[in-house]
Structure 1
Amino acid sequence: MMAGRYGALALGLSGALFIGYCIYFDRRRRSHPDYRRKLRERRRNQKLAQEKSGLAKLPDLKDPAAVQQFFLDEIQLGEELLAQGDYENGVDHLTNAITVCGQPQQLLQVLQQTLPPPVFQMLITKVPTISQRLVSPQVLAEDDVE
């Protein structure tokens, strides 16, 4: 009976020491002079990489108004970029719009009639890659809930 108490006491004490060490290490890491600079730099690099890849922040897919606004913004931005001659980024934004579109086949038919064939071919080749990148964060977010 005494061995069980000592075992429980030792287990509790080792758990408290481990948590204390974690708190100490985290405080020491955050108080380092370069911590904030490196954190800002890392966040800036992530934001630039996201903007560079053309990956837009997805709206809440359960909110129809937000999805519709995102869709309209991406279509408008894609058309503007295509009009300026920036085909790569324009196609990225149109692909984002196709990804959240309720009827992507009909939208693709309209785009096929309005876009030049080389630009439409670029769009068709990018649809699977961007739709996979846009859908993956949503799946991960839903899996984190469990």
Structure 2
Amino acid sequence: MSSKRNAIIAGVCGAAFVAYCFYFDRKRRSDPHFKEKLRQCRRKKICSEKSGPAQLPDLTDRKAVQKYFLEEIQLGEELLLQGELDRGVDHLTSAIAVCSQPQQLLQVLQQTLPVPVFQKLLTKLPTISQQIISSRPLTEDGVE
């Protein structure tokens, strides 16, 4: 008897939740500014994605470099999964450029990435690495 009662209560709660979802969705869509808000949100998202790889961290700060590395790897993987190969490769290349052991990372990426994507990564790597080297501050005697 108790299990029957619990099943009925669960069913009523489930139906109430679904009804609330329909009500909320209808109210949201009937808002006169709904489409305008939706367009603004999409514009913000597109603008933030167009910015490309994040700004380089202070290369002398180990924690900042590590955080930047992890963020770039994660962003690169997500973009590759979404099918945005160029942007994903850009982020992975930035991560490789600040990595303390780039050869090991390249070996792992070679095993996990499809060949065309890995080739694209290798072609972009010198450009990104040169940008990072040129952004590093030099010491007084001109040697890093």
- Mapped contact 1:55–1:134 kept (Cα < 8 A): no
Equivalent pairs: percent with the same residue? 67
User: What residue in structure 1 maps to residue 93 of structure 2?
Assistant: 95
Offset from partner CA, 1:24-64 (integer Å, 9 cap, x none)? xxxxxxxxxxxxxxxxxxxxxxxx8xx75734311111111
Equivalent residue, structure 2, for 1:75: 73
Which of the pair is proportionally richer in helix?
A: 1
- Provide closer, same or farther for how the CA distance between residues 97 and 110 of structure 1 changes in structure 2, counting only shifts above 3 A: same
Aligned counterparts, 1:113-128, within 5 A: 113-128=111-126
Distance between the aligned counterparts of 1:99 and 1:133, measured in 2? Answer: 9
Q: Matched residues in 2 for 1:52 and 1:126: separation? A: 18
Partners of 2:54 and 2:103 in 1: CA distance:
21
Contact 2:72 2:92 in 1 (8 A): yes
Per the alignment, residue 132 of structure 1 pairs with 130
Matching residue's letter, 2:71: D
Q: State the alpha-carbon separation in 1 of the partners of residues 97 and 51 from structure 2.
A: 15
Can you list the C-alpha shifts for 1:95-145, whole angstroms capped at 9, x where unaligned? Answer: 000000000000000000000000000000000011111221224xx379x
RMSD value, Cα: 2.3
Q: Distance in 1 between matches of 2:126 and 2:50?
A: 18
In the alignment, structure 2 segments of 5+ residues that lack a partner are: 1-46
8 A contact 2:53–2:72 mirrored in 1: no
Task: State the TM-score, normalized to the length of structure 1.
Answer: 0.59
Rounded to whole Å, the distance in 2 between the matches of 1:65 and 1:53 is 23
Whether the aligned pair in 1 keeps the contact of 2:76 and 2:90 (CA below 8 Å) is: yes
**TM-score, normalized by length of structure 2?**
0.59
How many pairs are equivalent?
94
Shift >2 Å, 4+ stretches: 51-56
Measure, in 2, the Cα distance between the counterparts of 1:124 and 1:54: 18
